[in-house]
A and B are shown apart, each in its own frame.
Chain A
């Protein structure tokens, strides 16, 4: 079982976090520990087992499509780090 540092870097990018060299080593070690423990799951024969993503076995839950008031715009943007005229301010994304 191996988790190369390049793999740790890839996963960090997917997670949208950046890691110091020391952190990369720490998470490499942590990942290895739990993935090694996870090898134990292979003792169980699951070839004919259906996966359970959700315990209640729910079918789609739908509702009538009725127009109704939503939350106030000012209230919703009040928590934004930067907002103006009820819009979120972000850095330029299209050149």
Chain B
């Protein structure tokens, strides 16, 4: 087996048994990046020297039997909107092009405390606003399965990097599907944890009531390992939940016998690709054959979720983006006339079109005269969506759905923002209701593009969800290796 194809579990075992060293593993991945990165452009920064030094230190710890955890020496890729001390964190925006954080995000601290090595920083849609990783100030990322197609977004760099075997683990952030949709497009596993399960300290804010950091991996078991590495209470994020966190790998292979799974009929909406529909039916059958009870049910507010999401997330985004003023950090325009013009010119030149579009919508729905009609209305609809899910989870352990309406689309195909927003239709309700969800690669389209299926559980329902996801993964054909075919 090639070093770069190892899962977290395989690499961790091999390190523990001294079959490989952390330096060998890191070099293997860096060679793979050297070989393939040019065709997919997943990384804003490759931390080769830093990672090799960390790997040497890890090997020394293991030789002395003082390893920090079972993950000591495992390299990971971090989405470039998560702060890494001393390593540039750009959010793929010109306005933060040269920003070097003076501190580590909570998750990066957790990684360091467990010996997990930062190998690189992954490309994203600017400030995580987008669904294709085309809205990056530093160029678009390509899908390893077909280079003429997008990897999804906004964590497209993270998902494509794991798919391309640049690391067994990447962190993404998910505000409306930004982990699950790219995971689905790239044939990897993507998990959005329950809101509050992972500290957002050091995650550059997009929409604070919706943002959550989560793992992208090549197996469901690895996703559980990654949750163990990042979940937990942190006082620096007031929304971080102060509760007992389980061992997420526990009971993962226990099976789904007797598990009740709901399938809302609204998910078969217009625009659902027939191959995705077939993949969903096959997933339902696979779970049923293992003893799960799958029933058709209803989520009446489904069709309202996407609009409510864009109103709420844009309102929160415009508030969060007000901090970029060309004074404290980041880009500053060189020509300006007074302080207000300094702000305006800096923001004008520093932000890309999609970010400006969200700010415009956000300020519109928050401005006097429109606040009640749009923003307040969306918050009330949020209550109704949450109530719908509460009712579903009284009856069901999990909900099953597509991860995205169709497999990965061609680069440049969705130039109309509304068409782009529609690719998140199955993922946004989860963020609105603060739930947890996972995308599991389940099928391959006729064109050789991966199709993911989403499982959703109630807040802190990850253990049950992981059982179902594991069963689904075992019953699905293996994805194999991406082909790196096509391209411009």
Give A1-32 as 1s and 0s: 1 = Cβ < 8 Å from B's Cβ atoms: 00100011011101111100001001100110
Question: Is B336 an interface residue when CB atoms closer than 8 A count as contact?
Answer: yes
Whether B336 contacts A91 by the Cβ 8 Å rule is yes
Interface residue ranges of B152-197 to A (CB < 8 Å): 195-196
Query: How many A-B contacts are there with CB distance less than 8 Å?
Result: 150
Whether A31 contacts B418 by the Cβ 8 Å rule is no
- The distance in angstroms between the C-alpha atoms of A41 and B382, with both chains bound, is 11
Interface centre among B303, B310, B328 (most CB of A within 10 A): B328
Whether B307 contacts A41 by the Cβ 8 Å rule is yes
Whether B434 contacts A56 by the Cβ 8 Å rule is yes
Whether A17 contacts B330 by the Cβ 8 Å rule is no
Interface centre among A17, A41, A54 (most CB of B within 10 A): A17
Whether A41 contacts B304 by the Cβ 8 Å rule is yes
Whether A93 contacts B357 by the Cβ 8 Å rule is no
Whether B330 contacts A79 by the Cβ 8 Å rule is yes
Q: Which of B6-14, B120-128, B246-254, B339-347 contacts A (4 or more CB under 8 A)?
A: B339-347
A33: which B residues are within 8 A, CB to CB?
417-418
Whether B100 contacts A78 by the Cβ 8 Å rule is yes
Whether B348 contacts A49 by the Cβ 8 Å rule is no
Give A69-95 as 1s and 0s: 1 = Cβ < 8 Å from B's Cβ atoms: 001100110111110000010110100
Whether A63 contacts B367 by the Cβ 8 Å rule is no
- The distance in angstroms between the C-alpha atoms of A23 and B359, with both chains bound, is 14
Interface residue ranges of A24-59 to B (CB < 8 Å): 26-27, 30-31, 33-35, 37-38, 40-44, 46, 49-56, 58
Whether A90 contacts B360 by the Cβ 8 Å rule is no
Whether A56 contacts B195 by the Cβ 8 Å rule is yes
Question: Is B338 an interface residue when CB atoms closer than 8 A count as contact?
Answer: yes
Whether B332 contacts A44 by the Cβ 8 Å rule is no
Question: Is A67 an interface residue when CB atoms closer than 8 A count as contact?
Answer: no
Interface centre among A26, A53, A63 (most CB of B within 10 A): A53
A40: which B residues are within 8 A, CB to CB?
303-304, 307
Whether B100 contacts A46 by the Cβ 8 Å rule is no
- The distance in angstroms between the C-alpha atoms of A78 and B332, with both chains bound, is 14
A38: which B residues are within 8 A, CB to CB?
307, 311, 374, 377-378
Whether B329 contacts A55 by the Cβ 8 Å rule is no
In the assembled complex, how far is the CB of residue B414 from the closest CB belonging to chain A, in whole angstroms?
A: 13
In the assembled complex, how far is the CB of residue B150 from the closest CB belonging to chain A, in whole angstroms?
A: 20
- Taking a contact as CB atoms closer than 8 A, the residue among A7, A58, A80 that contacts B329 in the complex is A80
Q: With A78-B100, A93-B339 as given contacts, are A55 and B356 in contact (CB-CB < 8 Å)?
A: no
In the assembled complex, how far is the CB of residue A76 from the closest CB belonging to chain B, in whole angstroms?
A: 6
- The distance in angstroms between the C-alpha atoms of A38 and B311, with both chains bound, is 8
A37: which B residues are within 8 A, CB to CB?
307, 418
Q: With A15-B356, A90-B339 as given contacts, are A44 and B381 in contact (CB-CB < 8 Å)?
A: yes
Whether B357 contacts A27 by the Cβ 8 Å rule is yes
- The distance in angstroms between the C-alpha atoms of A49 and B386, with both chains bound, is 12
- Taking a contact as CB atoms closer than 8 A, the residue among B100, B308, B330 that contacts A81 in the complex is B330
A61: which B residues are within 8 A, CB to CB?
238
Whether A46 contacts B377 by the Cβ 8 Å rule is yes
- The distance in angstroms between the C-alpha atoms of A90 and B345, with both chains bound, is 14
A–B Cβ pairs within 8 angstroms, 21 of them: A7-B364, A11-B367, A17-B347, A17-B359, A30-B417, A38-B311, A41-B308, A41-B381, A46-B377, A46-B384, A51-B379, A53-B209, A54-B209, A54-B239, A55-B195, A58-B239, A61-B238, A79-B102, A79-B329, A81-B326, A81-B331
A-B contacts besides A15-B360, A17-B348, A63-B235, 15 pairs, CB < 8 Å? A17-B344, A30-B357, A31-B360, A33-B418, A38-B374, A41-B378, A42-B377, A55-B382, A72-B102, A79-B330, A81-B327, A81-B329, A81-B330, A82-B332, A88-B328
Going nearest first, the 10 A-B pairs with the smallest beta carbon separation are A55-B434, A51-B379, A81-B332, A79-B329, A46-B380, A61-B238, A75-B102, A49-B380, A52-B382, A52-B383
Chain B interfacial positions (CB closer than 8 Å to A): 98-100, 102-103, 195-196, 209, 235, 238-239, 241, 301, 303-304, 307-308, 310-311, 318, 322, 325-332, 336, 338-340, 342-345, 347-348, 351, 353, 356-357, 359-361, 363-364, 367, 374, 376-384, 386, 417-418, 432-434
